[in-house]
Amino acid sequence: MSGSGAKAVVVTYPDEFARDEILGLAKAGGYDVKEVVTQKDLGRSEYGVGSGKAQELEGLVADTESDTIIIDESMTSSQANNLSRLTHARVIDRERLILNIFAKRAATTEAKLQVQLAELRYELPRAREAVRNSLRGEQAGFSGMGEYAVDVKFRALKRQMGFIKDRLEKTKTVRGLHASERRKLGVPFVSLAGYTSSGKTTLFNRLTAESKDVSPDLFTTLSTTTRMVAFPNFRRKILLSDTVGFISRLPTYLVESFRSTLDELRHTDLVLLMIDVSEPPESIGIKLRSCRETLSELDVEPSKLLVVLNKVDLLDVRARSKIELDPLFKDYSTVKISAVRGDGMHQLRTKIMERTDPRGLARRPGLTTPK
Ligand SMILES: Nc1nc2c(ncn2[C@@H]2O[C@H](COP(=O)(O)OP(=O)(O)OP(=O)(O)O)[C@@H](O)[C@H]2O)c(=O)[nH]1
Ligand SMILES: [Mg+2]
């Protein structure tokens, strides 16, 4: 249930980045946010927020006639239930919200399976909590369910997970074949990666003449598309792939569930790490760090990165002329572009060609040199 148009009260941390991001997520989830309140510590105590804040929320929910409270942190099922009981509103945490958006956007069979797996991974610790509570005579989490029923539910979740993993493993085998076929072609493989909404698909469309969905909403792309791109001036070709975007505080199990999609990044010769440089420096720093963490969880070597500074059309002339000198980017090779307007495309193509030069790549095992 994405609660399309449902009125919501949001609780987030007292910083602008967190606030903007959760509002973007709430919008992508289809919520109409009526009020935002902040708290330094989230996810603690009986309600996931302080008890004073919980009382305040009860009033806000009533005043704004909201039916949902969105908490920008992970909560246990008893915290969510306690707060829900007090405020008479549905309570969803950050993970649930991201899962709802993913579920709404998943279009391919693989993306749907990945979302189902993530849903089960979300449910499992909560079912475990319900088992513990039912053993103690409390039944928070699955109210009204007896110990036996909870145990059955727990085992059913496990079984379902195994089933979905098997199906995903099969799609992965198909992918594996594709990867080895690609190797035979001897065409370098280049992947787009980066924070959600950084402009990956916009650049993909420009380079491939595709028309994949582009939008300011978060998580527009959930599956991977790969296309052959010719660089006539260089008389060479590459395979370019566009994939799901990253977000900060992305739970590991979500990355895990999307592993077969994101695994492409590991087999790639070059990763174009897209950064939206039109944002405030603090946001750029947080997003860059968060992308690096996710990429290292996926075992992508830093030496494979080319940082693409996108949306320079939104900077004034002065900022545009020296953005790449920002200390944030000192450890990276960079190129600045506007995927929308087309600025910097020649420099980008040249860098891609340099970094995927078959003479350089041929020294690496597993890639044959094209004629
Ligand atoms: N001004 C400006 N806007 C851009 C540029 N590149 C992309 N955008 C806009 O940024 C928004 C996000 O673009 P997408 O290409 O969908 O971003 P993405 O990285 O694929 O996002 P996800 O699929 O959600 O991960 C869209 O509204 C684009 O029009 C650019 O160079 N300049
Ligand atoms: Mg996209």
Q: What is the pLDDT along the chain (371 residues), one digit of tens a residue?
A: 344 589 999 999 999 999 999 999 999 999 999 999 999 999 888 999 999 999 999 999 999 999 999 999 999 989 999 999 999 999 999 999 999 999 998 888 888 999 999 999 998 888 888 777 766 765 554 555 566 777 788 888 999 999 999 998 888 766 665 666 777 778 899 999 999 999 999 999 999 999 999 999 999 988 888 899 999 999 999 999 998 899 988 877 888 888 777 877 888 999 999 999 999 999 999 999 999 999 998 899 999 999 999 999 999 999 999 999 999 999 999 999 999 999 999 999 999 999 998 776 654 544 443 33
Identity of the residue numbered 227:
R
Nearest ligand to the C-alpha of residue 193?
A: 1
Testing ligand 1's pocket by substitution, the residue of 197, 213, 240 carrying the most ligand atoms inside 8 A of its CB is 197
Which atom from ligand 1 is nearest to the alpha carbon of 205?
Answer: 15
**Cα 51 to ligand 1 centroid, rounded to whole Å:** 40
- Measured from the Cα of 341, ligand 1's closest atom is 31
Q: What ligand 1 atom has the least distance to the C-alpha of 246?
A: 25
78: number of Cβ within 10 Å: 19
Asked if residues 213 and 205 have their Cβ atoms less than 8 Å apart, the reply is: no
Nearest to 228, CA basis, from 207, 253, 246, 203? 207
Q: Hey, what are 271's tokens?
A: 């990763």
Instruction: Report which protein residue has its CA nearest ligand 1's atom 11.
Output: 216
Domain residue extents for the chain: 7-102, 106-165, 186-361
Pocket of ligand 1 (CB under 6 A): 196-202, 214-216, 218-221, 245, 310-311, 313-314, 338-340
Centre of ligand 2 from the C-alpha of residue 322, in Å: 27
| DSSP code of residue 73 | S
The pLDDT value given to residue 4:
53
User: ∠ CA(307), CA(194), CA(164), 5° rounding?
Assistant: 145
Please report, for residues 59, 192, 239, the alpha-carbon distance to residue 229 in angstroms, rounded to integers and kept in the order given. 57, 13, 6
Do 315 and 323 contact (CB within 8 A), yes or no?
A: yes
How far is 157 from 124, CA to CA, in rounded Å? 7
- Is residue 323 within 8 A of residue 312, CB to CB? The reply is yes
* Residue 167 DSSP one-character state: H
Sheet with strand 270-276: strands edge to edge: 225-231, 236-242, 189-194, 270-276, 305-310, 334-336
Distance 18 CA to ligand 2 centre (A): 21
The pTM of this model reads: 0.88
Q: Which CATH superfamily is domain 186-361 in?
A: P-loop containing nucleotide triphosphate hydrolases (3.40.50.300)
**Is the four-CA dihedral 157, 158, 163, 165 of positive or negative sign?**
positive
Q: Which atom of ligand 1 is nearest to the CA of 245?
A: 25
- Nearest of 311, 309, 314, 339 to residue 324 by alpha carbon: 309
- The alpha carbon of 207 is separated from its chain's Cα centroid by a whole number of angstroms, namely 23
Q: Which atom of ligand 1 is nearest to the CA of 221?
A: 23
Q: What are the start-end ranges of the E strands in 26-118?
A: 32-38, 68-71, 90-93
Residue 184 is predicted with a pLDDT of: 75
**Structure-block tokens of residue 112:** 């749907």
In angstroms, the CA 39 to CA 22 distance is: 14
Q: How many CB atoms are closer than 10 A to CB 332? A: 16
Distance 108 CA to ligand 2 centre (A): 14
Q: Could you give the CA distance from residue 318 to residue 296 in angstroms, rounded to a whole number? A: 33
Chain centroid, CA 201 distance in Å: 14
What does the DSSP assignment read for 116-129?
HHHHHHHHHHHHHH
Q: What separation in Å is there between the alpha carbon of 285 and the centre of ligand 1?
A: 18
Q: CA–CA separation, 253 vs 255, rounded Å?
A: 5
Instruction: Specify the pLDDT at position 67.
Output: 96
User: Residue of the nearest CA to atom 16 in ligand 1?
Assistant: 214
Q: What is the CATH architecture assignment of 7-102?
A: 3-Layer(aba) Sandwich (3.40)
